[in-house]
Structure 1
Amino acid sequence: MDASTTPPSGCPPGLECLSQIDQILVHQQIELLEVITGFETNNKYEIKNSFGQKIYFAAEDTDCCTRNCCGVSRPFTMRIIDNMGQEAITLERPLRCDSCCCPCCLQEIEVHAPPRVPVGYVTQTRHPRLPRFTIQNERREDALKVIGPCVGCSCCADVDFEIKSLDEETTVGKISKQWTEAFTDASSFGIQLPLDLDVKMKAVMLGACFLIDFTERPIIIWFPSYVEFKKQNR
């Protein structure tokens, strides 16, 4: 490995590939059983770089009862495996009620890299109109903000969640939800990040992507799916 590809000092094992990329693509695999029956299965994702090369595979680890009783509010463990078959990143999301009326319902995900070593957190921030999240480091110090569009602005279109500085004056990247879910709930995301962002924060941004996928799915999916249903049943 030459100097240009040497990972930065202190880079956790399994995160080396993140040091040289500024774009991450996340594609959920379509499960045939889920499409046919509507029965919720464990989600699986391929994670690629901007050249389409697979860098990780992510698999949800949740029991059948939890998936189908709790839906998108369910707690889950997401195991992110590198190309060597090693678990590089673990995401832990606790159970949160999906009611918007209670402070205890704010969503959170904890990011470990490697497993059992926390490197950061993603926490939902209460706001009357906008989906908002705070990115924290391993010491729970705020590092970045993620701000989504106004509810109702995502009908049948890609949805951008801007990654901003803490003062919200500077946009440093974005998480883009691509509109692909008219007939299935399979997700596709693109994450744009500063190349020099700490690899731990890049791993936490992956966690933010998955939390957005679950937390904002009722907003992103429900309305356009209902419109499509009405069109077909006039």
Structure 2
Amino acid sequence: MAAHPLGVITMQPGASPHEQWMHMPPTLPGCPPGLEYLTMIDQILCHQQISLAEVFTGWETNNKYVVRNSMGQQVYYAFEETDVCMRMCCGKNREFTIHVVNNYNQEVMKIYRPFKCFAGCCWCAALDCCAHETFIEAPVGVPIGSVRQLPTGCTFDYAIRDAAGETQLIIDGPCLMCRCCADVEFPVYTKDKQMRVGCVTKQWGGLVKEMVTNADNFGITFPLDLDVKTKATLMGAMFLIDFMVFEDRNKNRH
């Protein structure tokens, strides 16, 4: 797969010249470069940008997201890299790479999901060939964590793992049938599920937007002192949830 030509970007994508950007924090020992932003916040908001081409033609395009803090300041910009055949033939189950860049157009994180022919069934996710996964690198080339779908009944549960594959947190997802006309919460618990420590929330965008486009808004809350690599891995979980649960390539068909 060809690398995205980051060098051709002349200004921060996703932001207008008058939009507020979060200032870059100082470098911190032990923190992957570019993730210093996450050490200062306990909440992020992720807004998927609407593709007019997708709305009017029904052709699935690469997803793009603006990531902001609770004050509305832009922290990151994220964009999908997937070839056309993969998007059109495999839909929400497609292989993807999400590139995350900071406000200086420097790639600080990469989120990758491999394609698996038999993935998608909640009952069979105990098998490697059937479980959706994302792998997070920060900086690019350095694994810091992964997200793996867990075998459950009708719910969408995930394990948040560190670079060694050890589970750090559990996302206890709702049943798909409960997602209409309201925010949908995916609570985040400690690995023993005894304490809730955060939440990934898909925010209801209104009837018209939900019917016409698959552009979704998400929020993630987590403890301020949570390990920065785990915070970044939760971002990887958010993108996996978006594709698995809310990405519907047929939504825009007329």
Work out whether 1:38 is the aligned partner of 2:63: no
Q: Which residue of 1 aligns with 2:8?
A: none
Task: Normalising by structure 2, report the TM-score.
Answer: 0.82
CA contact (8 A) 1:177 1:189 kept: yes
Q: State the secondary structure of the residue aligned to 2:197.
A: strand
1:160 aligns with 2:185: yes
Instruction: Give the equivalent residue in structure 2 for 1:61.
Output: 81
**CA deviation map 1:11-44 (0-9, x unaligned):** 0101011100000000000000000011000000
> Does residue 81 of structure 1 match 2:110?
no
Distance in 1 (alpha carbons) for counterparts of 2:26 and 2:33: 13
Which residue identity does 1:172 align to in structure 2? V
Distance apart, 1:121 and its partner CA: 0.3
After TM superposition, the structure 1 = structure 2 runs for residues 109-148 of structure 1, keeping only pairs within 5 Å, are 109-148=134-173
Classify the secondary structure of the residue corresponding to 1:148.
strand
Q: Which residue of 1 aligns with 2:130?
A: 105
- Alignment check: 8 A CA contact 1:18 1:199 kept: yes
| Most deviating of 152-161 and 10-19 | 152-161
Give structure 1 stretches of 5+ with no counterpart.
226-234
Listed one character per residue, the Cα deviations across residues 151-178 of structure 1 (whole Å, up to 9, x for unaligned) are 3112221100000001111000000001
Q: Is contact 1:7-1:19 (8 Å) kept?
A: no
Asked if the contact 1:94/1:108 (under 8 Å) is kept, the reply is: yes
Identical residues among aligned pairs (%): 47
SS in 2 for 1:211: helix
Distance 1:114 1:174 in 2: 25
Aligned position for 1:23: 43
Q: Note the 1:184-223 alignment, pairs <5 A.
A: 184-217=213-246
- Match of 1:213, SS state, is helix
- State TM-score, norm by structure 1: 0.89
| Residues paired across the two proteins, number | 218
* TM superposition outliers: structure 1 runs of 4+ over 6 Å: none
Q: Distance in 1 between matches of 2:202 and 2:104?
A: 28
Structure 2 residue identity aligned to 1:30? I
Contact 2:135 2:147 survives alignment (8 Å): yes
Q: Over aligned residue pairs, what C-alpha RMSD do you find?
A: 1.8
The one-letter code matched in structure 2 to 1:64 is: V
Instruction: In structure 2, list runs of 5 or more residues that go unmatched.
Output: 1-24
